[in-house]
Structure 1
Amino acid sequence: MRTVEWIYLIFNLLMFVGVIGIGRQSQHFRKMIWGGFVISGVLLIIHGVVEGLRWPMIPAYLLTLVPLVVLFTKARRQQQSGVTSLNSKGSGASASTSTVTRKFGRVRIIATSLLVLVYAIVSIGLPLLFPIFSFAKPAGPYGIGTVSYDWTDNSRDELLTSNAGEKRELMVQIWYPTNPDAEGATAPYVNKPEIYGTAFNEVLKLPKLLFSSLSQVKTHAIQEAQLSDAEAKYPVVLFSHGLHGYENQNTFQVEQLVSQGYIVVGINHTYSSLVSVFPDGRVAQFESEGKEGFEQLQFSYMDKLNETWVKDAQFVLDEVEKLAEGDPSGRFTGHMDLDNIGMFGHSFGGATTVQMLMDDPRVKAGMNMDGVLFGEKRIPAEGVGKPFLMMSADSTVAGTSVMSDEEIAAMGTTRPEAEKYYEEVYARYESVTVGGNFWMELTNTKHLSFSDLYLISPLLEWTQGVDARGTQQLVNDTTIDFFNHYLKGQPLHMDTEVGEHESYSLKKG
């Protein structure tokens, strides 16, 4: 929860308890009620202006009205008490009536206490279960700037739609080092968050309610800030998301890299991403090409699709080279170290990274985060031939051994077919570490642990049994160590970590 939210919520709950518990005959009761209403109202206004209102806070918002409700109820009771007093003078009150009244009072106190407890749990629980999530503060010495581009590869037709004459168009976001005190507009997590919320629901089948506060998620990046001049040039690292992913799905990782002095280029692979939103308002939805479940995972289909992603990455590198040579804005001209280009990706983007390592001499080192090795080329027996780090979730590597019959059936296949499929998966992994390369397996992780997704809500963490921020810290430390060595020539600490550890195992070829 955010700071003003906490202050506002705690004050309202204390006021609620105070209003219920303090004797209403106290001469200060009325002043306290009006004072509580005014303070709560002011805090509500500050929260709305500074942080923005959101639906999980509705129970807390209603608490602001408690003083008015109490005053109205007290006035009504005083009025009714006067009428009852007049009636009792004519009829006489009995001792039994007094006893019933006392018993009713005790029941009312118990019921009221339970109401306060339940309401407090709801008021606190909803904002915690549906938070405005945030990213860890970047640990490096640099601030972060960002700028987006809409690039079209006029040499390629768009193969994933039937629109005649359409060329391959990509949204690309670049993050880069700035001075730590750079000022400007903070970049939102995603553009058009309402479109992303719908896409999460329609493509990933996640409740739209989980993403209702995406518009209020902020990053540490400043839009179009000036590039830091602390270094003459900065290494460039490409990022390729997973199938159904998006270019900033690994903001947790990108921001830490940039803060350490890297320029990171995130590619949105149109029609294979969760959604693409172009500057003129056009939206490109995910295109499954009529394939679902196990059919979509077939090597014949995925290897072919990966060719498009590799060409995307190569085209983006071409455009990056143009920026380095002559950026119209002047920002990147002469400041990109094109002799030290790396690449990393999640899932299908990880597979794309491996293909780029084997296919494009410009990419010097690469990381694949939990990606099956789809693509045209197999890693040869002698290895990739360049520095490479494979990172895997233990649940992914376990394959069908951790999958129930119901889960396999839901994919649209049988256990024997799934086991045969994984035989090919493991066969493609055989030469991953050959030539001195690394393979890290993270314990108690899932496929989406290598993305921002589990930050959305603790509900996702609990249901999946993962530690989102713990995994992200390990991934970030390893990423920076890897690229610092192979792109900046700094000492490599992973060499001393080979073996079994509590949270991971590390193998080296």
Structure 2
Amino acid sequence: MKNTILTTMLLLALTFQSYCQADTVQLIEPTGKYTVGTSIYEWIDESREMKVRAGFTQKRAIVTQFWYPAKSDSTLVKASYSALSNEYQKTLTNSYLRASLAKEIHRAPLIIIVPGRGTERFLYSTIAEELASQGFVVASVDMPEIGYIIYQDGFILYPSDDFKTPGGMMAGPYERVDEFFKKPTEIGYQDLMFVLKNITEFNAYAFENKLDLENIGVFGHSLGGRIAGELTAKSEKVKALATMEGIPPRDVRYEGKIVVPSLMMCSSGTLKYAVDNYNSFIDNRNNTVYMTELVGFGHNSMTDNPYLYPDNFRYEIDSKKALEISRTLLTEFFKAYLIGENGRYKQNMDIEYVNMIKHN
């Protein structure tokens, strides 16, 4: 394994920045047949704590936002992109607040989005809206100390500096990187297990028992990809894993603990540094792995931020095109392995800017 390791992938950005929108921006319209509903829940894990500031902790408060296929109704109200954040007040969504589940839905797979370090759950709205319009229920999770969170009372909890990579660490050896991220990975995994417990309990009244909790997909970004890999390795309910520049933990990679189909996505700029680490996962695979190089993408291209703030993200690829490609990749992957619609994943997906190699 090379000692020169990925320099952008596991920096675990996005580190939060305050932006200012000059003009109103409409999110890209979903392509599926369903209207999209959304709702947000703030749950307290009484068994665990979170560090609010030095010397002060509280019970762990986890925020989960859902997007789902909804019943169309003339009385529906458009949802805010982020009702409590000043930075996104000019962003217009395609979702409707607290809409009813679409009557045509009989069984809907769940897809969990695991954000990167310092990233808010709603920054994956374009992807989430697309998946919901195709018939999936999507849950994006704000994890305390890992993500950037605004709670319903307006309190802001910033990412913990404890999980910010020390200077020079990303140059290797990679064993040090794996060791450093053990703690936040375990914290994030426990957060997701708590969220799944809550979803199981409220499935009846929130989703009319139509949510298929034995058929779960997970998409993780950056540190979220590592956490998503941990969840996939430990939960038999997860049937498909996708990550963007996030590699599962060391023991998961080398011991072949993931036994479901996986979609590994990485930008060209990062892949040349990360290839050995991806190979440690591919070489020990126990199911199909799609290794996907995204040409011209940046670390944050699968989030909405470059589309909303193009001046702050100077990636080679157009931000709208990057999101369109991203949502197609994820939709086709999860359709193939959660619903059984083989589509383009029976062969290498032929999309401009995408170099995909299928490892059986």
* 1:423 positional shift: 8.4
1:295-329 deviation line (CA, Å, top 9, x unaligned)? 6763322122111001111110111100114xxxx
Matched with 1:247 is: 121
Q: CA deviation at 1:349?
A: 1.0
Aligned equivalents of 1:351, 1:431: Cα separation in 2 = 18
Q: CA deviation at 1:434?
A: 5.4
Deviations along 1:118-157, whole A, 9 cap, x unmatched? xxxxxxxxx9xx4322211111111111111111111223
Shift in Å, 1:372: 3.4
1:236 aligns with 2:110: yes
Q: Which residue of 1 aligns with 2:220?
A: 345
Q: Is the 8 A contact 1:432 1:439 kept in 2?
A: no
Q: Which residue in 1 is equivalent to 2:149?
A: 276
User: Match of 2:128, as an amino acid?
Assistant: V
Q: With structure 2 as the length reference, what TM-score do the two structures score? A: 0.85
Q: Does 1:132 align with 2:24?
A: yes
User: Corresponding residue for 1:336?
Assistant: 211
Contact kept, 8 Å, 1:172 with 1:266, in 2: the verdict is yes
Structure 1 Cα separation of the partners of residues 75 and 319 of structure 2: 30
Q: What's the counterpart of residue 358 of structure 2? A: 508
Tell me if 1:358 matches 2:233. Answer: yes
Which residue of 1 is the match for residue 283 of structure 2?
Answer: 431
Runs of 5+ unmatched residues, structure 1: 1-55, 57-126, 198-213, 400-421
The amino acid of 1:431's aligned partner reads D
Structure 2 Cα separation of the partners of residues 193 and 494 of structure 1? 38
What is the alpha-carbon distance in structure 1 between the residues aligned to residue 336 and residue 74 of structure 2? 28
Is the aligned partner of 1:442 residue 2:294?
Answer: yes
Alpha carbons 1:191, 1:277 under 8 Å: kept: no
Cα distance 1:382–1:157, how it changes in 2: closer, same or farther (>3 A)? closer
Letter in 1 for 2:242: M
Query: What is the CA deviation profile of residues 265-313 of structure 1, one whole-angstrom value per residue up to 9, with x for unaligned ones?
Result: 110011221x212122322122212855536763322122111001111
1:472 aligns with 2:323: yes
CA distance in 2, matches of 1:424, 1:387: 20
Which range moved further: 424-433 or 282-291?
424-433
Considering only aligned residues, what root-mean-square deviation do their CA atoms show, in Å? 2.5
Q: Count matched residues.
A: 334
Equivalent residue for 2:200? 321
TM alignment of 1:52-131, pairs within 5 A: 130-131=22-23
Residue identity in the other structure for 1:458: P
Aligned to 1:174: 66
**Residues 81-101 of structure 1, C-alpha deviation per residue, up to 9 Å, x if partnerless?**
xxxxxxxxxxxxxxxxxxxxx
When residues 468 and 223 of structure 1 are mapped into structure 2, their CA distance, relative to the original with a 3 A threshold, is same
Within the candidate set 132, 136, 140, 1:266 is matched to: 140
**1:388 Cα deviation (Å)?**
1.1
In the TM superposition, what is the alpha-carbon distance from 1:331 to its structure 2 partner?
3.0
Query: Which whole-Å CA distance do the structure 2 matches of 1:220 and 1:432 have between them?
Result: 41
Whichever residue aligns with residue 441 of structure 1, its letter is E
The one-letter amino acid paired with 2:155 is: R
Paired residue secondary structure (2:206): coil
Give the C-alpha shift of residue 433 in structure 1: 5.7
Query: Greater relative contact order: 1 or 2 (C-alpha under 8 angstroms, separation 6 or more)?
Result: 2
Q: Letter of the 2:151 partner, please give it.
A: F
Query: For 2:162, what is the secondary structure of its paired residue?
Result: coil
% of aligned pairs identical? 23
The answer to whether 1:492 aligns with 2:321 is no
SS at match of 2:343: coil
More helix by share: 1
1:289 equivalent in structure 2: 162
Higher-Rg member (1/2): 1
Alpha-carbon distance between aligned partners in 1 of 2:201 and 2:125, rounded to the nearest angstrom: 25
TM-score (norm 1): 0.61
Q: Which amino acid aligns with 2:71?
A: N
Whether the 8 Å CA contact 1:303–1:376 is kept in 2: the answer is: no
Gapped runs of 5+ residues in structure 2? 1-19, 171-176
Partner-residue secondary structure (3-state), 1:242: coil
Aligned AA (2:202): L
Separation in 1, partners of 2:287, 2:97:
41
Secondary structure of 1:446 counterpart: coil
Structure 1 residues 158, 475: closer, same or farther in 2, change over 3 A? Answer: same
Q: Is the 8 A contact 1:323 1:333 kept in 2?
A: no
Higher strand proportion, which one? 2
Measured after TM superposition, the shift of residue 262 of structure 1 is 0.8
